[in-house]
Structure 1
Amino acid sequence: MADKISNAAAQMPQLCHMCEENTDIKFKCLDCAFLLCSRCRKLHEKVRTKYVHQIIDLRDKRAISKDSKSIRIHQVRCEFHEDENYIMCCQECQQLVCATCILTMHQKHEMGDMKIIISTKVSKLKQYQEIIDTTILPNISRNYARCDDLMEFHTKRTDIAKTGIHDWKTYLINAVTKLLDQQAELFYEQIDKNMDEIKQNILPERSELDDMKRNINKIRSEIERAINSHDLSQMINLESSIELLLKKVYAQKKKERTNYFEFSQRELKILKLGDLTLKPVFELQCTQSFDTRLSCIDKMASYKHEELLVRNLELKNLCLLKIAHDQIIEIHKWNIDVKDITALQTGEIIVILVDKTDLRLLTKKQHLTSTIISDCTEVFFDTAPQIPTALHTTRENNVIISTVETGRDWLPMDEPCKVEIIVITAEREVISRFIFDKDLFCFPNKITSIGTDICIADSISDYSGRLVTLDNKGKVKWTYGDNETNSVIIADMVSTPLYNVVLLDPCQSVLQALDSKGAFLNTWRLLDFNVTNPYAMTISTDDKILIGCGHTGNNLHVLEFRE
């Protein structure tokens, strides 16, 4: 046997894994799979690991059998000691070390096999690689496409605004020019008419004065001749003519004072092109519609990427669906009747069961099985004596719960009741609890959140409702829909990443968008998207609005919004 080993060593010379210089290999560490020379054996025993080094002589058959399975890794020179290669990995410092590193900088540190460490690192890097390929890069691509879409949208909107200004300016110039021409013509007519009246008033008088002047000049000439001639009879006749003429002169009446037009310029203080108003970008378009083969979807909650939880109202069960390209795949189904559902970011599903005061948990282990689960027994949180009505998981992975007093299902909706709003962590620790003792809410049936604010859909009656928003202290910040001008029935609602709230009104079959202060932004008719009989709504992990409907056929619609 020793001859065989010697022949094998002669054919493939082995170097000591520690010093990598000596070919006189006599020992092997079974735990580290290191071949060692006599000098390095003692050094290797001093290397600290989580196990005790089992160093045996190479003549041991165990070493030969195990050595046949050993795999050498690519040798890398130490960055601190250029003449040596890395041989192990320091567990405490998480870095590769050579023999000199072990003796100088990593004494008494626990060492690990490079092969095992590298294999672990490779596995972890492959996991990161998978996350990058399946999640990060697709998200970047989606966000990049969204940025391109927004740039194209704003470029078009800029061109539309500028074209509108130019067209309106041209229209106003033409309209103003026409208006001014009309006003000028009217002024000209009024001035000309006044001038005609002045002529009718002045010209006859001037003609009369001309005649009188001629007659006076004629009489004056006759007076001069009469004086020179000393003709008495001529003087007497002339005197009579002069007295008659003077009577006419004295009898002449003065005309009324004439009026004239004076034009004054007016500054353009009223005339404006218009107003520029900044409007938030909030557009919706339906990109996909699916036939889920469910008879009625009335509850929804986003789960993982392209997966969602839905309740089938008619069959009273809960389904986990996956959107795969252009079809819907049913992954799992639970035969349980739930009042509301939500999911933690860790994958656990939380449900409210009918007539129960506690929230129940469907763990990963449960919903990853292929069998149908008929019940969920693990309690997530107990709200007794209050009855839970609605659930919501925030973007910070906290859970918000609304509760009402016992027996509320049999009281008129228009009467306030005792309501508790509870905020807990995913680890079930209570962050805050707000109690409203018949002074605010009638029946909270839906919850969402905007940052630290809590938005609660409160049913006032079967045909009216409102949205109440609380701050992180439980104080009312604003309400919407609590008067006749903006009354709304809220079947479901979601909040968007940019702090907008979208409400689903099933009676009017519309979506309404509000900003974070409760100001109205926009309305969309769902019939314009071929969405009929809408019941439920949720927002996916990639920020798309999903709407479920109460009929068969295409009853799940994907709406993408630009904001």
Structure 2
Amino acid sequence: MASLDEIETPTSSAKPCELCEQESILQFKCVECEKVICDRCKGIHAKVPVLSNHLIINIEKQFVTQNIQKIQLCSMPCDNHAKKFHCLFCRTCNRLVCPDCVSSIHTKHEFEPLEKACENKLSELSAFDSFMEEKVYKLRKINKNFKKKKETWECEIDQVKKYIDENEREIQEAVTKYAKELRENVEQKRKNRNQEFDEREQNNCEQEAIFTDFRGKIKKALESDQGYDIFNTVSEKDKLNTLIDNTKMTTEIIDLTNSKLSSKRMAVIFGNINHFSVPAYVAVKHDSNYTINVQGIDKMGMCTDGSYWASVYNNDKDDSYLIKSTLSRVINWCKTVEVNVFDLALTTDDTVIASVHMTPEVKRIGKNGRLEEFINVAPLITRGIHVNKENEIILGVRDNGDPFQITEESCRKILIFGMDGNQKESYEFDKKKTRLVTIPVRICTDVNGDIIVIDSMTKDTKRVLSIGRRAGEIKWTYEGEFDFKQQKAFDPNDITSTQTGYLVLSEVISHRIYLLSLGGDFLTFCDLRTMGIVLPRALAIDSKGFLWVGCANDRMNKDFAKKHKLPNLTCLKLEISDV
């Protein structure tokens, strides 16, 4: 914040505009951009929708100086000398003085006439009034933003409480259902076992009667003097041995495993609350550069063993192919697969899957290293693709018509597939039947599992949005910053999510990467040209949390890139702290 001593009355002189950098007489200041701008950039502000609400202050002439002749300057009494009036302004002491003051205290000081001093003070007040106007505007805007954030916060809290209630109800229903099944299972086991007991008891009673009766026969045979009775009784005895063997019964034990519900197990079953704050410190530090013998890297993914898959191209971006390679200062090829890739993703076991450009196909690289058919969404066309932590495939699709001519028959969706290739979910409209996306060109997921999409709305307009996985509604959108130097709107090329919950965007045209919070708030950007890196396109986070950036050096003059040894693969370290 500027101090009072730093506030000066602006002067009319040709200086570089802080936005377009053209020499011009700077007459205006954009409070939102915090830049002093020329008349041309002021006109651009009015034409660009995202800038039209910015406050523009005319700093060339904030105040029409009052007629000094009408201001009473000759009757200002001196505070130090009775019956004396101020006659001059002491510039050395910055105060009004009378004749006695001049002769006694302010000898050899610099003075100026009251009229001139008053005119300067009016200009100073005018400048300070402009300064205060800017501060009041900012404070009102901040409070307005606070009010909006508070409303959003309240909605999020209510939504979380709603989810808690829903989870509680679902878990109660599931527990009740499971307990009922366990009881029914136990009762069935009781019934089956008791039936077996009853059958065995009845059988034993029958055998007891037979054995008692046979004992009578044995007694009679023992007392008989007839051989026939003895041999006949022994013959019947051998038949009774089988009945004695069948009286055995197995022992069974039934029990219920005691399962303690620890807080960790409850978090898995019930869910957990994620609460993130906007960091106080963000820094992007350069780690290392690598050179690949291709002109451009369009998309990449880092494997757990330190190697990587990338979609690369040389002459035509629409004619790309896949490579897998290990990292060294000059990278040697490991594997090349001919396929025209639009986007790619890696599964949890480092299998690469790719959406094929302008086709309904998703293909994968099999264990034999060959390209395999995997998913087909005909008659739709595949766009951005991503694999989340649960190993689900998230695929953007569109119909085969004009990409930006939306009709009632148009189909623009986010589809969720399992690794078996079967579709599980679909997101196309919100609860108000409003279309969620136009063309989902790149996709990732945040730490909450919500779907983050780079949505191409028109040929020149893109946005980033978050779709809540549970509610199927757009949670927030980010439309970027207008680039005055390039005279182009926000044009993100890739997006990824860090392990700590932040979102990183790349933008080729501005040589920047952007950092967003989990809630879609802009945190900062880094111009990679300060590190000798140009045209960042592809982004990937490795298992150690490092950010990898693949560059589109095809847009750079080949001789220039070779002369300056520009890298096309760079490793960066993001340092983010809340203190």
TM-score by length of 2: 0.46
* TM-score of the aligned structures, taking structure 1 as reference length: 0.47
Q: Highest CA radius of gyration, 1 or 2?
A: 1
